[in-house]
Structures are given as structure tokens and as C-alpha cells.
């Protein structure tokens, strides 16, 4: 079972190979079957045409023989009476002498079925052969008589060859001498025709088999090429995937280190300095109490309390930047409102936030992604845009949800002039792509420039109304 498991559950490379080879095998098989069918059909038509031509040549030859024979005794038959025995004997002698080739001869039967002439098979003479059939049960003499009564006709049957004693297919041409009630005819064996036709069919079969071999060889070569190409493509894609995975892992590490560095700077430059001030104020108050100067203790204690309040605010701000509790408690709308308000208070940039109430709620991943995109966009505006006015708009619609952030800053530089890794924009792009959304960035430079960042999420990320908390607010 361990050996069959890879076949039952193929990996990605095997699936890719199967996906490429199965249609090719089906197509090659269909082409081979079609080619074989068309080749056999065309060859069969040609063989039938060849057989028809050979048989017609044989029949024309027989007709000429019979015509010549009849011309040979017509001067006797034309003047004789129906009961002229001497004339009949003379004509029978003439026909008996007309033998040709190794097996060719003329035969005569009267309408009663009695053989009158059979020069190569004399044992048939003067015997009645009514009801005689060949090896396949085909009537012979009765059919001769029927054709003779009609005037003339062709008949095909199995007959013993005088030269070999074996049965072979014969085609006979019979004419009737109505005054004497004779059936006169001759035949030719067509085993050479049948052998030629059989040889032609065998050659066609060989050619079709050879064609199958050629098609199989071509298909095998194509399969080898497809397999080799698939393996090369798979190896190349795997290497690219490994390289992208390493790059992504490194970027994750870089982002983590950047975030840790930011938190470390916030702690060192902000909270650490404030706590130093608290320590200094408390130490100052302790020294004054030790000297007994109780009237001057309150001012450093009040300053220390102010420092502690500032430290608490800084801790809350850092905590909100890392993971805003309002996003989980109240939803995306209030979280973005708080983010823009804090941005305006911190930077002095005029900031407006607007939203349209819609009844659907965003799922958790979408809320986090849009919040982080807004956070990253405001950070970029603060650092690089030199903007004086920022607007943020969030709304739902029939196709999903859209968040648009607009500023009147200097805009983004051209793509070829951008320095750095652009990890912020790349993070925004990757966050939205993971949710099957789209991110558009429109920017122009100059006095009337600015940047527009538009993030769109599909309708699949909007939950139906009625579940959980109040859905009347943008969640």
C-alpha cells in the first residue's frame, strides 16, 4: 500500500504532468484511430475498385471467348433444324476443341441438366447434373439453365480446377441456344484476383500497423518532451517559490524587527524619559521630606503625577497602535474614527473621516486589513507627504466595501525614482490581495498634487446582517 499511495494521491508535480499528458494521450489516440479508420476506408475503396476492374477484365475476356466460339459455329447453328443431330454433334465437337490456358474450356448443358460438352472433365459428359451445388451450397447447373433461358448471364461459384484438383472461385458466362435448348458457356478461375485482393488488404493492414507505430513513436517523443518540460518547469517554479518564500520570510523578519525597533524607540524616547522625570520628581520630594521642608513637597509630587498620567497615555497609545481594542469592541468604523482623530491631534493635519452606514458587517480579517492599510497610509502621509488636509471615507456597496484615503500632499515620486524597498506600499498591496481585493494608488506631483489610496474588498467578505452585535453601524 505504501507504494500505491503516491499513485492514489499524486503530488502537485504529478498532477501537472497528468494534466499535460492525459489530453495529449487522448488526442493522439483519437488521431490514430481516425487515421486508421480513414486509411482502411480509403484502401478498402481502392481495393474494391481494383477487384471490380480485374473482374470486369475477366468478364470481358469471357464474353470475347463466348462471342468467338459462337461465331465459330454460327454457320452450322443458323442453318440447322432443332432436331438436327448431325449439326449438334458437329457443334459439340467444335466446342470440345476450344480449350485455352491450363484450365479454360467450354461446357454445354441441355435444359434438362445433362452435360453434353466438358473437355477437361469428361466424367461429367452424358450425365444429368440437375441440383448440383458447390461447396458453399450455391446451385450451379440449375443456374446455368436459368440464365440460358433468359438469353445470357454471369454466375460465380466454387469449382474444381482441372490442373490442381482443388476448389477455387470461378466466374462463368452462359448464353442460351434456344432452338436446341442448350446452355453454352465458359468460365475463368479468379483465384489470382482474390490473391491480389488479399495481398492488397494485407499490405494495407501492414501500412496501418506501421502508421500506428509511427504515431506511437511520435506520441512517445511528445510525452517525453512534455514530461521533461513539466519537470523543468516544476523545478524552476519550485526554485522561484523557494526564493519568494525566503524573500517573504526575510520581509516578515524585517517587519518584525522594524516594529520591535519602533516599540523600543517609543519606550526609550517616550515612556523611559517620562519615568525618569517621575523618578526625579519623587526623589526631589523625598529629599525635601527628609529635610523637613513639608511645605515644598507637593509641587514635585504633582509634577510626578502629571508625568505618570502622560506615561499611562503613552502606554495606551502604543497598545492601540499594536492592537486597537476599539477595533474588536466597536468595529472598523469607530476604530478608523479614533485613528484619524489621534492622527490629527498628533500631527496638526486637518483630517476628516466619513462613512456610510450599511447593514452588512465585515469579517475579522477584512477589518484588520483595512485598519492596517489606513494606519500605514497615515504614517506615510505624516512622514513624506507634507500634506495639510486628509480625508478618509469608508462605505459598503453592492459589490463589497471600499475605503478611500486622499491627501493634498506632494504625491509619490515616479516609480523609477522611488528609493528604498517601499515595504509600506508592498504590505498594503499584499494585505488586500490576500483577501482577493484590489488596491489602487493614484498620485500626481506639483502644487495641485496629492495621493489617493483606494482599497476594495469583494462582497464575499461582508457577512449577512442579523448576527452578533448591532449591525446598524459599519463593522
Strand partners, 86: none
Average pLDDT over residues 374-402: 88
pLDDT higher than 50, residue 421: no
pLDDT higher than 80, residue 314: no
The pLDDT of residue 126:
92
Q: How far is CA 237 from CA 227, 232, 243, in A?
A: 15, 8, 10
Is 438 a domain residue? Answer: yes
Is 63 a domain residue? Answer: no
Where residue 416 falls among pLDDT bands split at 50, 70, 90?
very low
The pLDDT of residue 11:
61
How high is the mean pLDDT of the chain? 81
Domain coverage including residue 112: 103-189
The residue ranking higher by pLDDT, 47 or 108, is 108
Give 3-state DSSP helix, strand, coil % of the chain, rounded to 5.
60, 20, 20
Q: Please choose, from the candidates 337, 335, 453, 464, the residue with its C-alpha nearest in 3D space to the C-alpha of residue 396.
A: 464
pLDDT higher than 60, residue 242: yes
Of 189, 218, 233, the residue that ends a domain is 189
By the 10 Å C-beta count (0-12 exposed, 13-18 middle, 19+ buried), 86 is classed as exposed
Q: Which of 25-29, 127-131, 254-258 has the highest mean pLDDT?
A: 127-131
The answer to whether residues 393 and 399 touch, using CB atoms and an 8 Å cutoff, is no
Is 418 a domain residue? Answer: yes
Q: Output 30-37 pairs: Cβ under 8 A, ≥24 positions apart.
A: 31/215, 32/211, 32/212, 32/215, 32/216, 32/219, 35/211, 35/215, 36/208, 36/211, 36/212
The three cell numbers of residue 90 are: 458437329
**Angle at the Cα of 166 (from 160 to 170), degrees rounded to 5?**
45
The pLDDT of residue 1:
47
The pLDDT of residue 2:
52
Q: Which of 65-69, 294-298, 390-394 has the highest mean pLDDT?
A: 390-394
The residue ranking higher by pLDDT, 172 or 196, is 172
Is 371 a domain residue? Answer: yes
Q: How many domains does the chain have?
A: 2
412: helix, coil or strand?
coil
Is 44 a domain residue? Answer: no
Give the DSSP letter string of 43-61. HHHHHHHHHHHHHHHHHHH
Average pLDDT over residues 99-119: 90
Of 148, 174, 189, the residue that ends a domain is 189
CATH number reported for the structural domain that contains residue 163 in this entry: 3.30.450.20
pLDDT higher than 90, residue 393: yes
Q: How far is CA 260 from CA 105, 250, 253, 264, in A?
A: 116, 15, 10, 6
CATH number reported for the structural domain that contains residue 341 in this entry: 3.30.565.10
Of 189, 221, 255, the residue that ends a domain is 189
The three cell numbers of residue 270 are: 517616550
Amino acid at each position: 500500500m505504501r507504494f500505491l499511495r503516491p499513485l492514489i494521491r499524486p503530488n502537485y508535480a504529478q498532477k501537472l504532468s497528468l494534466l499535460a499528458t492525459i489530453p495529449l494521450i487522448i488526442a493522439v489516440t483519437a488521431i490514430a484511430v481516425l487515421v486508421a479508420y480513414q486509411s482502411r476506408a480509403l484502401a478498402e475503396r481502392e481495393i474494391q475498385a481494383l477487384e471490380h476492374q480485374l473482374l470486369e477484365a475477366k468478364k470481358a475476356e469471357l464474353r470475347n471467348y463466348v462471342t468467338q466460339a459462337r461465331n465459330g459455329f454460327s454457320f452450322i447453328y443458323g442453318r440447322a433444324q432443332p432436331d438436327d443431330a448431325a449439326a449438334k454433334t458437329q457443334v459439340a465437337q467444335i466446342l470440345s476443341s476450344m480449350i485455352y490456358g491450363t484450365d479454360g474450356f467450354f461446357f454445354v448443358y441441355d435444359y434438362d441438366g445433362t452435360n453434353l460438352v466438358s473437355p477437361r472433365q469428361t466424367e461429367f459428359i452424358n450425365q444429368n447434373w440437375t441440383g448440383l451445388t458447390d461447396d458453399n451450397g450455391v446451385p450451379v447447373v440449375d443456374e446455368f439453365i436459368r440464365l440460358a433461358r433468359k438469353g445470357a448471364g454471369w454466375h460465380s461459384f466454387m469449382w474444381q480446377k482441372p490442373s490442381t484438383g482443388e476448389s477455387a472461385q470461378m466466374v462463368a458466362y452462359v448464353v442460351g441456344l434456344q432452338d436446341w435448348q442448350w446452355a453454352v458457356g465458359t468460365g475463368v478461375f479468379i483465384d489470382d484476383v482474390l490473391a491480389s485482393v488479399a495481398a492488397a488488404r494485407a499490405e494495407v493492414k501492414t501500412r496501418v500497423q506501421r502508421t500506428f507505430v509511427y504515431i506511437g513513436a511520435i506520441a512517445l517523443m511528445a510525452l517525453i518532451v512534455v514530461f521533461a518540460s513539466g519537470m523543468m518547469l516544476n523545478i524552476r517554479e519550485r526554485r522561484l517559490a523557494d526564493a519568494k518564500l525566503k524573500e517573504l520570510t526575510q520581509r516578515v523578519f524585517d517587519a518584525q524587527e522594524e516594529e520591535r525597533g519602533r516599540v523600543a524607540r517609543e519606550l526609550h524616547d517616550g515612556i523611559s524619559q517620562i519615568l525618569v522625570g517621575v523618578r526625579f520628581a519623587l526623589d526631589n520630594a523625598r529629599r525635601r521630606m527628609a529635610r523637613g521642608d513639608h511645605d515644598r513637597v507637593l509641587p514635585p509630587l504633582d509634577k510626578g503625577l502629571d508625568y505618570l498620567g502622560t506615561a499611562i497615555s503613552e502606554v495606551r497609545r502604543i497598545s492601540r497602535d499594536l492592537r486597537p481594542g476599539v477595533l474588536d469592541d466597536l468595529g472598523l468604523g469607530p476604530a478608523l474614527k479614533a485613528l484619524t482623530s489621534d492622527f490629527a491631534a498628533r500631527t496638526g493635519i486637518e483630517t476628516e473621516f466619513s462613512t456610510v452606514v450599511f447593514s452588512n458587517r465585515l469579517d475579522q480579517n477584512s477589518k484588520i486589513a483595512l485598519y492596517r492599510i489606513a494606519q500605514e497610509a497615515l504614517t506615510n502621509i505624516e512622514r513624506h507627504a507634507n500634506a495639510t488636509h486628509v480625508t478618509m471615507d469608508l462605505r459598503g456597496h453592492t459589490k463589497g466595501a471600499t475605503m478611500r484615503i486622499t491627501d493634498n500632499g506632494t504625491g509619490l515620486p515616479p516609480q523609477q525614482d522611488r528609493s528604498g524597498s517601499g515595504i509600506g506600499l508592498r504590505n498594503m498591496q499584499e494585505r488586500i490581495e490576500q483577501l482577493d481585493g484590489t488596491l489602487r494608488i493614484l498620485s500626481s506631483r506639483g502644487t495641485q498634487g496629492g495621493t489617493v489610496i483606494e482599497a476594495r474588498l469583494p462582497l464575499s467578505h461582508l457577512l449577512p446582517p442579523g448576527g452578533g452585535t448591532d449591525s446598524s453601524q459599519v463593522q
